[in-house]
Amino acid sequence: AARASTRGGRESSTGTSTRRDIPVAIACAARDGVDEVAAACAEFGVIRTLHADQDADERRGVLAACARSARRGAFDDSRDDEGPVDDDDDDDTAGDGDARCVCVVTTDACLPSAANGEASLGFPLLVNYDVPRTKEAYARRARVALGG
């Protein structure tokens, strides 16, 4: 008899979950929204935030974790039932020992900036938690979060 997964994943014939994490970027209008969304989503996976109160090293760590998750991809078969395979030798500079980033919550002002030499997140999914105020803000969110 098949059992239902408690976290939305599929189960294999051995009863273990084979769910693959899909990296998600969530854009908020203000820092209060970032904190609220991150707290609400904490039970679903590894949540990272980008906000103005972070120092440069912490920001680089979050962006590095995002890059590893985007590179690994949502349906990467290099993962097994025990979790992600750390496919690079980079040290985890995010500080909590987990190299993954299932979700990043950020404000428009804290999105990665090409002017600062930061690459786009390259995530497959963007959630506009707050509606962008301008067409330009909407386009920037999509370009930076989705890599387009």
Q: What is the pLDDT of residues 46-63, one digit of tens each?
A: 789 998 889 999 999 999
Position 106 scores a pLDDT of 94
Please give the model's pTM, rounded to 2 decimal places.
0.69
CB 26 within 8 A of CB 129: yes
Per-residue pLDDT of the chain (148 residues; tens, 9 = 90+): 333 333 444 444 444 444 567 889 999 999 999 999 999 988 877 789 998 889 999 999 999 888 888 887 643 434 433 333 333 434 433 344 444 568 999 998 899 988 888 889 989 999 999 999 999 999 999 999 998 6
Residue 88's CB: how many other CB atoms inside 10 A? 12
Q: Is 138 exposed, middle or buried (0-12, 13-18, 19+ CB in 10 A)?
A: middle
Position 67 scores a pLDDT of 86
CB 120 within 8 A of CB 145: yes
Position 43 scores a pLDDT of 82
CB 106 within 8 A of CB 140: no
Position 14 scores a pLDDT of 47
Position 57 scores a pLDDT of 93
Position 12 scores a pLDDT of 40
